[in-house]
Structure 1
């Protein structure tokens, strides 16, 4: 797979050193000539949703670090377009955004399947040509979306599973040490 488009997973190369993106998997939600954006799906944030949104009353809903851009914003992806209106379908069955007030009400009334929604602080963004440059530097491995991987509870496994499902050569990368000089 070598085409950047909404619904593609960007899997960080095992040796990518950028601390914002080391061992991450990003769901690419938008890719246009003007730029691109998506969400890191496997880095849990140190606060929960009820810590960030005062009118959320259900405790301990995880929030993920979507990326280093606009850390004062909250976003979400989900698989519930019948309950959450206004979302943008980035991949068949996976939606970005929608009516946030409705989401808060659905969370508080416990009508959402929390295995089918993921919240993010901030996002990952690239200006025009920037992501293509990172692709040329071999910073990212492209993969099609695997919905169950996006919503895995064990965020530590998402990067490994994303590589393993790509086949033998990539599966070996899943076991590479973070710093090979320590071997």
Structure 2
């Protein structure tokens, strides 16, 4: 990290990865990834700004009414897209259990085979992701070093945002300059 990149944080659980404008891979173009785990075995996160057009109720009918808006299945990433991952914001630390497995910082993994009423009593917010994003040991650090990702502070308000489609720009906007300036970066620079 150079002195002019002092804002760049190391990857860790509860931080956000913001795709750099130069990251053109379609599965990650202009994405914001919330890191659930980052340790000596690798990194797991979910894309939090890609709601699909599929209501949660089309896949998990009992869960539709307890989901946070927008109550759509989110594209969590390219790994295991045929699997569903549920995340919840715990109402309090005492609410872990009953279908909620606390991870850290008020975040819980949701047992989507569990009792919907019990889970919804213990969680303020709920979201379902199809697939997740994952990196092997050292892989994410290499992608960050090559300029593909920016690592910034994040939180559960980002994960459960009611306006996920605007997260890429809004998360960039709240960063210090010069990173905040990227929020106005055009989708296609050739059209400027």
Q: TM-score, normalised by structure 1?
A: 0.85
| Deviations 1:62-102 (CA, angstroms, capped at 9, x unpaired) | 22110011011111222125445242334x22x14133334
Structure 2 counterparts to residues 36-75 of structure 1, below 5 A:
36-56=43-63, 58=65, 61-75=71-85
Unmatched tracts of structure 1, length 5 or more: none
90, 103, 106: which one pairs with 1:89? 103
Q: Does 1:157 align with 2:166?
A: yes
Q: Which residue of 1 aligns with 2:31?
A: 24
Task: Give 1:163 shift.
Answer: 0.8
Matched-pair contact (CA < 8 Å) for 1:84–1:98: no
* 1:42–1:170 Cα change, 3 Å: same
Q: Which residue of 1 aligns with 2:132?
A: 123
In 1, distance between residues paired with 2:61 and 2:159?
27
Aligned residues: 178
C-alpha RMSD of matched pairs (Å): 2.4
Task: Extract structure 1 runs of 4+ deviating beyond 6 A.
Answer: none
In 2, distance between residues paired with 1:177 and 1:57?
35
Structure 2 counterparts to residues 8-23 of structure 1, below 5 A:
8-23=15-30
Matched-pair contact (CA < 8 Å) for 2:48–2:158: no
